[in-house]
Amino acid sequence: MTVRGPTSTKERVLDAAQELFGAHGLEGTSLRAVTSAAGVNLAAVNYHFGSKEELFQAVVQRVMGPVTQEHRRRMEEMEGSSPSVEELLDAFVGPFVRLISGQQDRSLARFVGRVLADSDEQLRRRTAVHTEATDVMYLEAFGRALPHLSRDELVWRFHASLGTIVFQLIGTPVMDLAESTPFGTRVGDAEQMRARAVAFLAAGLRARASATKPHTPG
């Protein structure tokens, strides 16, 4: 792995950590691997960050900070109105779509997908420090736009929507697969991806809550 365009030792370490944490997770990444990729010694990492956990937090802040700021800004723009499900989804999905479509090397999007989907409870708690406030804002707004849903159902659907976004972040985007897959088509540019994601997720969020038990064959 090569770290492109270093501007300082600290930035080289952050760039290397972002790619390695995104590919292997917190536990699967050693400081030795980070220092090797960044071309620095361990003393430089200790000087700037102190520990692997603090380095991870610094990467989360660098990556998720702009996303949460954009989420908050979009919610503030809608303050005092009654936004539709589509408007809320557009505001929530937009920053993630830009991560998917705007990175040549995908490491930034892959890192976000990794930290949002990782099964490590402690890692999720570390990430939640940066995202929880805005997630709650959107969850409450969706609740007002979808009054027919119970709280439990709303939370389930919100997390299912986030899971769809995470799949695109952490995996290979469908828009990059083209004729190499049985589907044989491209999703399109960022605007088309955003529009399709909003339409798809809105249908799921709006669906009437079912009170029936799942069908059991036979």
Q: What CATH number should be reported for the domain holding residue 100?
A: 1.10.357.10
Query: Would you state the pLDDT for residue 175?
Result: 45
More confident residue, 77 or 100: 77
H or E, element range at 131: helix 121-145
Q: Is there a domain that residue 9 lies in?
A: no
pLDDT of residue 215: 41
Query: What's the token pair of residue 99?
Result: 């991560």
105, pLDDT greater than 90: no
Q: Taking a C-beta distance cutoff of 8 angstroms, is the pair 202, 88 a contact?
A: no
Measured CA to CA, the distance from residue 127 to residue 117 in angstroms comes to 10
Taking only the tens place, the pLDDT of each residue in 7-34 is 689 999 999 999 898 888 888 899 999 9
Decide if 34 is inside a domain.
no
111: domain range?
59-206
Average pLDDT over residues 93-111: 73
Distance CA 22, CA 213 (A): 39
Please count the structural domains in the chain.
1
Q: Which residue has the tokens 């929880």?
A: 132
Closest CA to 4 of 24, 21, 19: 19
The predicted model gives 48-60 an average pLDDT of 91
Domain annotation covers residue 216: no
pTM of the model: 0.76
Task: Classify residue 52: in a domain, yes or no.
Answer: no
* Rg of the Cα atoms in the chain: 19
In a domain, 162, yes or no: yes
For residue 37, being part of any structural domain is answered with no
The predicted-structure confidence for 130-184, as pLDDT tens digits, reads as follows 788 899 999 999 999 999 999 999 999 999 998 888 777 766 544 454 445 554 4
Q: Give domain status of residue 114, yes or no.
A: yes
**Mean pLDDT value across the chain:** 81
**Is 25 a member of any domain?**
no
> Which pLDDT belongs to residue 185?
46
SS3 state of residue 81:
coil
Mean pLDDT, residues 99-112 taken together: 68
pLDDT at 102 over 80: no
Q: Quick one: pLDDT band at residue 108, thresholds 50, 70, 90? A: confident
16 SS3 class: helix
More confident residue, 89 or 63: 89
